[in-house]
Each structure stands twice: as C-alpha cells, then as structure tokens.
Amino acid sequence: MELELTEQQRIIQKMVRDFCDREVLPVADTWVAREEFPVEVIRKVGKLGIAGLRFPAAYGGSDGDMLSVLVALEELARGDASVAVTIDVSATLCGELLYRYGTEEQKRRWLAPIAQGEIIGSFALTEPEGGSDAASIRTAAVRHGNEWVINGSKAFITNAGTPLTGLTIVAAVTSRDGKGKAAISNFVVPSDAPGFSVGPAYHKLGWRASATRPLYFQDCRVPAANLLGVEGRGLAQFLWALDLGRVGLAAMAVGLMQACLDLSVGYAQKRRAFGKSIAAFQAVQFKLADMATAVHLGRLVTYHAGTLVQRGLPFKREAAIAKLFTSEAALRVVDEAVQVHGGYGFMEDSPVSRYYRDAKVLTIGEGTSEMQRLVIARELGCG
Ligand SMILES: Cc1cc2nc3c(=O)[nH]c(=O)nc-3n(C[C@H](O)[C@H](O)[C@H](O)COP(=O)(O)OP(=O)(O)OC[C@H]3O[C@@H](n4cnc5c(N)ncnc54)[C@H](O)[C@@H]3O)c2cc1C
C-alpha cells in the first residue's frame, strides 16, 4: 500500500496550509468567540477549489482523488474545525451524494456550484427523536402529481441557514411495507423551497463557528425531479455517504491532533520551570511522544481508508476504524495538549482550548463511537 503523497497532493497540502496560516489561524478565535459563521473565509476556501477536488471538471471539479480531499481537510482542521466541517459536509456528504446518485441535470445545477465554492450544501438525516437509529426517521414525503410534499423536522444540521447554503439533501420516508418498515428516499431541497424553514442556530460546546440548525418542513414542495436516485433506495445512499463522511471526519481529527502536537512541542521548548525548558522533563516528553504516535497512526488509518475509497474497494470497516480511532485519540491528544500548556491552556484565548472544545463532537457526529464499534463488530460477523 502506497501512502506517500504524490507531488500534486503535496501541492494541495501546501496551498491549504499556507491559506490557513494566512487567513484562518490568525482570526479563528475571534469568529469562534462570536459564534459567527465565517462567510468570507468559506467563500475564499471555495475559490481555492477545495470542495471540488474529487469531482470531474465537467461539474466544476479538478479531477483529483480522495487523498487530496483528506489532505485538504486535515490542513483545514489544523486551522479551524468549523471551517473544515463546513467544507467536509458540503463536499464529502452533499456533493458526493449528488455525484454518485444525481441525474445529469442535478449535477449541473447543484454539484457544479458546490465544487466551485459558489454555494455550500448540507445533509439532513438526524431528527429530534434520534440520530443513531437512522432507519427510524419520521419525516415523510408524499408524491402529488409532479411534486413531492415533505413534512417533518430535522435536528443538528450542519451548514443550515447560512447565506451560502443553496440546498440540503433530506432523507424522508416515502412508503412503508405491510409490517410498517419504512422505505427511505433522499430529496434535493433548495433553500428557498416553499414550506421549508430553518430554526435558530444551536449554541455548541465546539465547532462554534459552523452553522448548525434545526430544519422544518411544512407541506414543503419540491419538483419530482428533485428525488435523488431511485425511490426507496435512500437508506443505502446515506449509509454510503456516512461511510465516506467518516473518512473525512477522521482526516479532520488528524489535523486537529497535528495542531495540538505542534503547539505543544513549541510551548514545551519555550516554557521554563525549575531552571529548564519543560521539554527537558521526561514526563512532558512522554506526552509529546504519545501525541506524535497518535497523529502518525491516525494519519495511516485515515489515508488507508481513503486509498480504498479511491480504488473503489469496500471501505466500510476501515472507515469506521479510522473514525473511531482518530476521534478517540483526538480526545486524549487535546487533553495532554492542555496539560502541557498548564494554566495558559485553560484560558479561552489559548488555541489549545479551542481544539479541546472542538474535539468532543468528533466522537458523536457522523455516527457515535458506539455505532462505529457496532459497524466494526458486524463486519467481523458478530450481531
Ligand atoms: C455539531 C453537530 C453537527 C451535526 N451535523 C449533522 C448533519 O449535518 N446532518 C445530520 O443528519 N446529523 C448531524 N448531526 C447529528 C449527529 O449525526 C447525531 O447527533 C449522532 O448521529 C447521534 O445521534 P443522537 O444525537 O440522536 O444520539 P442518540 O442516537 O440518541 O444516541 C445517544 C447515545 O446512545 C448511544 N446509542 C444509541 N444507540 C445505540 C446502540 N444501538 N448501541 C449502543 N449505544 C447506542 C449513542 O452512541 C449515544 O451515546 C450533528 C450533530 C452535532 C452534535
């Protein structure tokens, strides 16, 4: 298995790294403190073509590969998790669903502007009654002539209600069999669809500058042509997208861990105690060594899953392993990073405290750690 980056992937890595050093890191604390969605920065990330890396040029993309996407997400998350998750959801969930299942018309109308960063997309599966048990959603869509009429609500939807949000892909029940088992379909719901509305932003522990809102559908009408793929196949579609999204989230965890490691090494070398730099104390060295080990292993499992995606091989198990390992490792890494920074690490304006808050949701979003373990166990033939 080849895990060395190609020259093209290195160019993308450097481009995103330089962008974050210039446009994200110096100001991220400000917009995070204000819980403000950074519209202009997201526009600029869009102009760099990051959301279109894996899509063909015909749909506004740059014909790149999955590793390029992962490298870019890693670098964005090294800068700020809110920026990274905004692009991750738009490209890796919404965009990939459109690319894989959309009609030619849907790709031209919706995927191309996502790929070119003119709009962002969202993906609405979770409902107020639950997210892990995704097959039990209650939002329903009924066909009336040339339209689908959607009723229900969604909770915790990333990228909802921003000035850049052009559409959301919404999962809804379209029929039930004799035993009441739901058939789910996915729909492209434009932000201005009649009967569609967005609730107030949640106040969150982390990812504070990302937009997360509830969605409401009250006799929301979309054209029949907005059905994504085959009616009744929505469950398989979003499970595939979630697998892919998990690899993206793992890349974000790696970027966050890398940032914590870099900050901690830098701080440990400068900070002095007992007449020495604290990097001279073995207890501190061990923390840094454990952090570096987590970053390295996290990057390997994430790139491995990405390589399987790119080769068109099964990747469900590897995606779950990458997501589980990196998100849980990130919690340990942020904890040690704050510890190395001592009291300064606990201050609001310390960068490591931002990463500390941003890490927790990595074990929840796109399937909790418990759900990843269930997926891995099932892949082992258990349950
Ligand atoms: C910041 C943020 C952004 C999000 N963005 C999106 C988005 O863009 N789109 C979207 O659709 N959703 C989004 N989500 C929702 C997210 O995917 C869900 O929160 C997550 O899947 C868990 O669902 P839940 O919150 O309903 O928890 P629940 O499903 O109620 O689970 C609660 C607890 O029970 C455990 N549990 C549940 N079932 C089992 C089981 N069978 N075995 C063992 N343990 C179990 C869970 O692991 C968890 O610990 C977002 C969430 C957050 C916090």
Taking phi first (over 0 means left), then psi (-120 to 50 degrees means alpha), and beta for anything else, what does residue 156 get? left
Which atom of ligand 1 is nearest the CA belonging to 370?
47
Look at residue 351 in the predicted model and tell me its pLDDT: 87
**Where residue 3 falls among pLDDT bands split at 50, 70, 90?**
confident
- The DSSP code for 272 is E
Dist. CA 257 → ligand 1 center (Å): 23
pLDDT tens-digit profile of 75-102? Answer: 999 999 999 999 999 999 999 999 999 9
Which atom of ligand 1 is nearest the CA belonging to 374?
42
Going from the C-alpha of 192 to that of each of 103, 112, 197, the distances in angstroms are 21, 19, 9
Give the type of residue at 44.
Answer: K
Look at residue 242 in the predicted model and tell me its pLDDT: 96
CA-only gyration radius of the chain, Å: 21
Q: Give the number of residues written for the chain.
A: 383
Look at residue 180 in the predicted model and tell me its pLDDT: 86
* Residue located nearest, by CA, to atom 4 of ligand 1: 156
* Residue located nearest, by CA, to atom 29 of ligand 1: 132
Dist. CA 214 → ligand 1 center (Å): 14
Ligand 1 pocket test: which of 88, 120, 126, 243 has the largest number of ligand atoms within 8 Å of its C-beta? 126
Dist. CA 3 → ligand 1 center (Å): 32
* Residue located nearest, by CA, to atom 12 of ligand 1: 126
Dist. CA 368 → ligand 1 center (Å): 6
pLDDT tens-digit profile of 125-137? Answer: 999 998 999 889 9
Ligand 1 pocket test: which of 96, 127, 133, 156 has the largest number of ligand atoms within 8 Å of its C-beta? 156
Dist. CA 124 → ligand 1 center (Å): 12
Mean pLDDT of 295-307: 97
Predicted TM-score (pTM) of this structure: 0.97
- Please pick, among 2, 127, 366, 379, the residue that the annotation labels catalytic: 366
Dist. CA 86 → ligand 1 center (Å): 18
pLDDT tens-digit profile of 52-69? Answer: 999 999 999 999 999 999
Which atom of ligand 1 is nearest the CA belonging to 124?
11
Dist. CA 369 → ligand 1 center (Å): 10
Answer yes or no: is pLDDT of 2 > 90. no
- Reading the block at residue 378, the tokens are 């099932």
- Among 80, 71, 157, 67, which residue's Cα sits nearest to residue 120? 157
Q: Are 369 and 249 in contact (CB under 8 A)?
A: no
Ligand 1 binding site (Cβ under 6 Å of any ligand atom): 89, 122-126, 130-132, 156-158, 204, 207, 212, 361, 364-368, 370-371, 374
Q: Write out the DSSP string of 118-136.
A: SSEEEEE--BTTBSSSGGG
Task: Give the integer Cα–Cα distance in Å for 164 and 77.
Answer: 20
- Reading the block at residue 256, the tokens are 């966050």
Which atom of ligand 1 is nearest the CA belonging to 132?
29
Ligand 1 pocket test: which of 88, 368, 373, 374 has the largest number of ligand atoms within 8 Å of its C-beta? 368
* Residue located nearest, by CA, to atom 48 of ligand 1: 368
Dist. CA 238 → ligand 1 center (Å): 15
* Residue located nearest, by CA, to atom 6 of ligand 1: 157
Annotated active-site residue 23? The verdict is no
What percentage of the chain exceeds 90 in pLDDT? Answer: 96
Q: Is 290 exposed, middle or buried (0-12, 13-18, 19+ CB in 10 A)?
A: middle
Look at residue 4 in the predicted model and tell me its pLDDT: 86
Domains of the chain: 7-120 (1.10.540.10), 123-232 (2.40.110.10), 236-379 (1.20.140.10)
Q: Are 214 and 155 in contact (CB under 8 A)?
A: yes
Which atom of ligand 1 is nearest the CA belonging to 158?
8
Look at residue 77 in the predicted model and tell me its pLDDT: 98
Average pLDDT over all residues of the chain:
96
